[in-house]
Amino acid sequence: MNATTRSTGRTLGVAVRAMIVLTLLLGVGYTAAITGVGQLVLPAQADGSLVRDGDGTVVGSALIGQGFTDAEGAPLPQYVQPRPSAAGDGWDGAASSGSNLGPENPDLVAAIGERRAAVAALEGVDPADVPADAVTASGSGLDPHISPEYADLQVARVAAARGLSEKEVSDLVARHTEGRALGYLGEPVVDVLELNVALDESTAELGR
């Protein structure tokens, strides 16, 4: 065996040993350590920010929007509705996507007009009073939040459908309104799934 062959063999051996060590260190050890820290410090977030109903059944994630419609796709009147979704057929967690349409695209303009009319009819308000997030999808198509203004717009309908007072529903909206991140970033938002779970629990407590 000549010197070149021996040198190549040593180099290959070093490379293989380095790959094994780094795979164990970074692929296994690092992953296990970060997973452990996540479970110890922020277990709920590490598990996906899961939302459970009153029976403890997982009904979704606080980070992923979902629809509240019947089999025909019509909004269920007893639930606060999310913003529109362009993810797959709507709120498809495996197909996160926006419409990728510009603000002057005629298809988007038409869709916004149709959505505004539909929301106004559902809530019994003037189309001019419908907020922007009620008629536009987010960039991911899976935004779990709506603005407090859109949530307030739905209070009367939800209260009537559930046999609750508008104050009871408004109080739940206020309780589930999240302020600006770090006190100054973004705008206040309402997590739709968490609010709807709270509405279900309130209705169940009253036997309605």
pLDDT tens-place string over residues 127-156 = 999 999 999 998 898 999 999 999 999 999
166 confidence band (pLDDT: 50, 70, 90): very high
Residue 124: Cβ within 10 Å count: 10
On the 0-12 / 13-18 / 19+ scale of CB atoms within 10 A, 170 is middle
Domains of the chain, residue spans: 3-43, 49-205
The DSSP-derived string for 164-180 is: --HHHHHHHHHHTEE--
H or E stretch covering 46: helix 43-46
* 86 CB neighbour count, 10 Å cutoff: 23
Q: What is the pLDDT of residues 52-66, one digit of tens each?
A: 887 888 888 888 989
pTM above 0.85, yes or no: no
